[in-house]
Structure formats: structure tokens, C-alpha cells
A = this chain, B = another copy of it.
């Protein structure tokens, strides 16, 4: 068994009435989760909160204390409903200031565009005092880092671009490795076998994800561990046990 190393954890706060109203399908949870796995950081919890300063500040303070990192998405655009920066400044008990570098980038970007750098656009240069910027190639408006809090855009491809700018720059542990084995088995037929496999390999978690596809039932079994070798060995063991029980295991899943 491997030595117990520190498990690095992060939380994500998704900010936006449009997610809670059902109008917009969130895409950031899956994308931040996948990116964090690559950094060796585990997404430990997510909260989706409305565009309400008090609720945002409360959530930010609770989550940044509890985890190594907190990411937020949403609410950093130019309109009146973009209140994330103000709410997070309040959470840290600091003022909101215009960041000179952010202002310079926006001035450059809007120099030849209709309307120029108006008051609304200048909002996107506002940061909690003491914050750093997260530059990204896809838009002029940067993300913001203060303490262990990373403030990202809500539009998924802009958030992706900010994550890319941060890749490899956060301390983390080993990436989580997952091995998937599929079988044309109703999960309720192999539940005991799964439980035994998990118990035989301390340090792995096995998830069972049933599906109905091409006219038949089946399930994918996902073995996750920070110990890649352990995950692989467990996958082979599970495949063997499935075969012994009369099911054809499919490496990589169905």
C-alpha cells in the first residue's frame, strides 16, 4: 500500500440565478472537476448560489476556510447583476479597487471598438484590494485571485481559458487515476461482487453506473485511486471476478 500523502482539496462555488432557475445548463462543474483531477486536486464539494451578495460572501468564507482552494464561476461581467467581485471583497473585508494592469488591458482592447472603455466595461477591471489577475488569451477581461480563491468567468469557454492559464501552477498531489470496466450485467446482479472487490483493495473506491443501451442493461464500474497501479490491479481483479460470474468484462467501459 502507498504512503498516505496529503490530499489536496478544492471547492467550487457556481454563482448565478440562471443556473438555479433552470434556464442555463451548468457546464463548469464537470470542466473544473476534470481540470482539478489533472492538477492532483480533488473537487470535494460544489455549491450553486444565487446572485445575492450576502449568500456569496457567506459561501466563500465557509469554503475557503475548509479547502486548499476555492474556485468561483460567474458574475464577473459588465452588468448590474455581476456582483461577484464586490461580494468576495466583502467576504475578505477589503475594498474594491480598479487594478491598473486590468485597466490597461481593457483600454487597449476597447481602444478601437465602438463605445470605448465605458463605465460598464471598466467594472471588469475592479478587484478586491490585494488581488492578482488571471490573464487569459480568449478575452480582455481577466480572472482574479485573492488568497486561495480563484474567481473565474461563468461563460464556459472563457472559464476554460482561465483554467488553462493556471494549469501546472497550483500545488497538488498525484492526479486521480480512474480505470473503467464495463459489463452487460444488471448492477443489482453484481452488487455483492463489487463490494467484495472494493473491500479486497483498500485505497480504491468503486462506483457503479448503470445504463440501458442497444436494448439491454449494463453498467460501467469505475475504480478510482491516487495510486495508479492499485487502480489497474483492482481493475484486473474485477474483470476476473466478472468473468468467473459469467459476464464478459469490457476494458475501458461500454
Contact = CB atoms under 8 A, between A and B. Distances in A.
Interface of A: 14, 17-27, 29-34, 36-37, 42-51, 55, 77-81, 114-115, 118-121, 123-124, 155, 176, 178, 186-189, 191-192, 194-195, 198, 205-210, 222, 224
Contacts of A31: 22
Number of copies: 2
The main secondary structure of chain A at its interface with chain B is: mixed
A19 to B, nearest CB: 7
7 contacts: A20-B42, A20-B46, A21-B43, A22-B33, A22-B37, A80-B206, A115-B186
Nearest to A113: B186
A193 to B, nearest CB: 10
A36 B22 CA distance: 9
Nearest to A16: B207
Given A80-B191, A118-B189, A208-B77, A37 B21 contact: yes
